Each structure stands twice: as structure tokens, then as C-alpha cells.
Amino acid sequence: MPNQPIILAIAPSSWQRACDVGLWASGLILAAWYLEFAALLSVEVLVIGLVAIALVATGLVVTGLCRWRWRQPGSRTLWVVASAGGIQSHWVYGSGDVGHTQVLRCDYLGPRLLRLNVGGERLWLWPDSAPHDAQRQLRRLLLYIPQR
């Protein structure tokens, strides 16, 4: 009897967005602290303001470029099946079409995060980006089937 596939309905994670916002906020706090320290050393207030505006603008541009370069599609479905040749997977598209079979490897298996390599595409699975039962089944599969 063939193995039952693990169906992962992957959605964008709000945990990832929260981490991004937290990193941004800590960077802005550090920049403000540094600029306040520079103001105490009697540096011109105008220069400090221009540096702050330049830092924020540069950060926004870099974040926008990174989001554009490494963006992931909104929602998609991944079918995972254990076979004799290892772990196979394929994407199921919104139109119902099934993609070609690809090898699935686990690059990182942590207590909260999973980093999968699906046919060369790197995919981070956050705790809220897929159903908990499907993630639990995938973790068990990745733990007990050796990677090649």
C-alpha cells in the first residue's frame, strides 16, 4: 500500500512579519541611541537629523529590495510522500495542476522552524505557516527517514 501524502497548505507567516518588525525596531532604537549620544558630544543638530533621515531611508530601501528579491508566493500547497528513493514532493497549484516530482531535503529541523529544500528552492516553514498536524507528520518523516 502506498504511503499517504502529507499535504502542507503553506500560507504567509505572521511570526515572520513580527520578527522583521522586531529587528527593524531594534535597529531604529540603536540608531536613535547612537544619535542621542552624538548629540551629547555637541555635534550639530542638523547633521544628526540628516544622518537619521539617511539611515531610515537606506533601511527602507534595503528592506524593500530584500522583500522583492526573496519574496514567496502568498499561499500554495506542497504534497510530500516518502518513497524508496527518499522523500519526494510536488507543488499543487491553485488551478489544480500538479507540478513535477522533486526531491525534498531538510536543511534545518529546529523546535519551531523548518527549512526545506524543494527541488533547489529554499522554503522556511514557521509554526503558523502550515497546519500543525501536517507539520508534525512532516517532522516525524524527516526524523525517521535518513536524508541522502
What per-residue confidence (pLDDT) applies to 29? 77
Which pLDDT belongs to residue 48?
67
Distance, in Å, from the CA atom of 109 to the CA atom of 126, rounded to the nearest integer, reads 11
Q: Which residues contact 94 (CB under 8 A, 6 or more apart)?
A: 76
pLDDT tens-digit series, residues 20-76 = 778 777 777 777 777 666 665 555 666 766 777 777 778 777 777 776 666 655 668
pLDDT digits (tens, 9 = 90+) for 69-123: 666 556 688 889 888 778 889 988 877 788 888 999 999 998 888 999 988 888 8
Q: What is the pLDDT of residue 120?
A: 85
- Cell numbers for 36: 542621542
* Between residues 53 and 5, the one the model is more confident about: 5
For residues 96 and 28, what is the distance between their CA atoms, to the nearest angstrom?
Answer: 44
CA distance 126 to 70: 16
Cell numbers for 33, please give them.
541611541
State the pLDDT at residue 1. 41
Between 120 and 147, the more confident residue is 120
Q: Is residue 14 packed enough to be buried (19+ CB in 10 Å), middle (13-18) or exposed (0-12)? A: exposed
